[in-house]
Amino acid sequence: DTAVSQTPKYLVTQMGNDKSIKCEQNLGHDTMYWYKQDSKKFLKIMFSYNNKELIINETVPNRFSPKSPDKAHLNLHINSLELGDSAVYFCASSQVVLAGGPGSYNEQFFGPGTRLTVL
């Protein structure tokens, strides 16, 4: 009964290749996210989709392209992989409650992560 799942768990590839990571959530949430965790464990948001629409796009190279075929899936495609792309990528989902204002919150549920190693 995995709530947020990602595939693959590990991905080892050569520089210059193109790869994809898939994410699926079965929680019925309307918002999904991609985060990157570097070697020092720092977590930074990359993208967020709400009902298949891009709502957050942080300063990420355009080699990274998210795709949301439906609100339960958010995939991440990376072109021309570079050494600096090596990291753990986490998918997350949430149902935003009362966006903005007192009491609004955004409890995010995370997938197990995909460790990407670029050689």
Partner 1 sequence: GNSVTQMEGPVTLSEEAFLTINCTYTATGYPSLFWYVQYPGEGLQLLLKATKADDKGSNKGFEATYRKETTSFHLEKGSVQVSDSAVYFCALSGGNQGAQKLVFGQGTRLTINP
User: Would you tell me which residues interact with partner 1 (CB under 8 A)?
Assistant: 4, 31, 33, 40-45, 48, 50, 55-56, 90, 92, 96-113
CB of 57 to partner 1, least distance (A): 11
Q: For residues 44 and 63, which CB has a smaller minimum distance to partner 1 in the complex?
A: 44
CB of 3 to partner 1, least distance (A): 10
The CA–CA distances, whole Å, from 108 to 71, 79, 99 equal: 15, 27, 14
Q: For residues 3 and 15, which CB has a smaller minimum distance to partner 1 in the complex?
A: 3
Whether the CB-CB separation of 108 and 94 falls below 8 Å is answered with yes
Q: For residues 8 and 16, which CB has a smaller minimum distance to partner 1 in the complex?
A: 8
Rg (the chain; Cα; Å):
14
CB of 8 to partner 1, least distance (A): 14
Q: For residues 75 and 108, which CB has a smaller minimum distance to partner 1 in the complex?
A: 108
Only one residue has tokens 């891009």, namely 54
DSSP letters, 22-89, are EEEE-S--SEEEEEEE-TT--EEEEEEEETTEEEEE-S--TTEEEEEEETTEEEEEE-S--GGG-EEE
CB of 83 to partner 1, least distance (A): 23
